[in-house]
Copies of this chain bind each other. A is one copy, B any other.
């Protein structure tokens, strides 16, 4: 099922080269002011063409409110937002159809959907759909005044200096991966459930919906494997639960503890590398060399921060509603 969230629920739909991609929200409170401008910053952050290493493909990416908005406020009924796919060059992809590209969903889509998948531009698997996630983040963030969610690149191509990492890719005529960290402040303690719906379970569940993410760690993360318990434990030093250190990343026993939530994801190198590669050819039934055509990012990690913020906001908004910490109707 392509829905996420129990109270603040998002349902996503669309393909890279169809008429539009879109998202429907359930559980958005009534009376929330909303308009196109709210979406500009995060959508621009996500867009290609803004910085070295991102694709030149451009879309207007204006949110089109189809349902759930009246007089510039949410109505409480389902909210649907569409984004048109204007700038599509399907021809690029049809030619490559016979060879399932390594690292792409071509092969699995064919296996899952029996060859009926819309293969143009990755179809439903396309990173294009992350514009819908970003939109979900915009809506969710509006529900969370007092909570800040900030994601940023910490590493590209193995380099802390991101420019260096990108240059490495350019020099090698290859693509590179990266690491993105997310820092959330202002989350109250007590969110999440001990079994199955921990804060970590929900954030990771949503994060792995972002194409190219292959790992996630909270707080000290994998480094915890090398620490002693007395070092990893975060000593509580106030009645409100503030801890001296934050190796737990703000989540203990699956529940938010009132400290900042901190986690990191790894983004694999863009699958569409400029390098020549090998893969199976369905037509010739042999392994063949080929090169990926089309416009692509050298480092998709650069576009991940607003998307990671978005899925985090979706999770936190959902948890806050479940904990009855958000109003059902806005009176502003």
Chain A residues within 8 Å of B, Cβ to Cβ? 1-4, 6-7, 9, 11-15, 18-22, 24, 26-27, 30-31, 66-68, 70, 73-80, 82, 100-105, 107-109, 111-118, 123-125, 129, 155-158, 169, 172, 174-179, 189-190, 193-198, 200-202, 204-209, 211, 213-222, 224-239, 241, 243, 247-249, 252-258, 266-273, 275, 277-280, 282, 285, 287, 301, 322-324, 328-331
Contact = CB atoms under 8 A, between A and B. Distances in A.
A224 B213 CA distance: 10
A208 B158 contact: no
Nearest to A197: B1
Given A113-B75, A255-B108, A324 B328 contact: yes
A254 to B, nearest CB: 7
A229 B275 contact: yes
Given A67-B15, A75-B116, A195-B129, A235 B108 contact: no
B114 A31 contact: yes
B1 A27 contact: yes
A13 B266 contact: no
Contacts of A1: 6, 9, 26-27, 193, 196-197
Contacts of A67: 13-15, 18-22, 124
B201 A205 contact: yes
Contacts of A256: 108
Nearest to A117: B75
A213 B198 CA distance: 11
Contacts of A113: 30-31, 75-77, 329
Given A111-B258, A174-B230, A201-B208, A116 B269 contact: no
Task: State the oligomeric state as a number of copies.
Answer: 4
Given A75-B123, A268-B224, A198 B209 contact: yes
Nearest to A211: B253
B329 A195 contact: no
A104 B252 contact: yes
21 contacts: A1-B26, A3-B9, A13-B67, A22-B67, A22-B80, A30-B113, A31-B116, A70-B118, A100-B241, A105-B254, A107-B241, A112-B190, A156-B225, A215-B215, A217-B266, A224-B267, A227-B269, A229-B268, A230-B273, A235-B287, A237-B278
A107 B213 CA distance: 32
Given A2-B193, A20-B66, A176-B229, 7 more contacts: A2-B26, A21-B67, A75-B113, A76-B117, A157-B225, A215-B217, A224-B266
B228 A175 contact: yes
A245 to B, nearest CB: 9
Nearest to A189: B111
Given A22-B67, A204-B201, A209 B196 contact: yes
Contacts of A80: 13-14, 22
A194 B111 contact: no
